Amino acid sequence: MSEQNRQRIVVDIYGHQYTIVGDENTSHIRTVASLVDSKMKEISESNRYLDANKLAVLTAVNIANDFLKLKDEYNKIKKDYEDLVEKLEKKEEKAYND
């Protein structure tokens, strides 16, 4: 993708403005920023003593945890899907040869 297609979007996360540069469309970038913003607020509500830096690191940890759990689920369903496709192909091949 050319440099021209890179978006520069200013988003608000936990009361601060950040310029995000990326190839994704504006709506996707805003959704990403909104996810981080709401996670930071959620974590800060249950950990009021945290300084801003620790809060941001723990937010990253929290989202990384969700990411890795989803990755496990994704790999499982991908395997189930591929197994099913393979089973069907064998069945069709058998039906063709019979």
What is the contact surface with a second copy in residues (CB under 8 A)? 13-14, 16, 18, 20, 22, 24, 28, 31-33, 35-36, 39-40, 52-54, 56-61, 63-68, 70-71, 73-74, 77-78, 80-81, 84-85, 88
Q: What is the CA angle 93-95-98, rounded to 5? A: 105
- Take residue 41 and report the two structure tokens written for it: 């607020």
Q: How far is the CB of 13 from a second copy (least distance, A)?
A: 6
For residue 2, the minimal CB distance to a second copy (Å) is 19
Q: Tokens in use for 93?
A: 């091949």
Q: Distance of CA 62 to CAs 14, 16, 51, Å?
A: 16, 20, 16
Query: Shortest distance, CB of residue 71 to a second copy, whole angstroms?
Result: 6
* Cβ distance to a second copy smaller for residue 60 or 97: 60
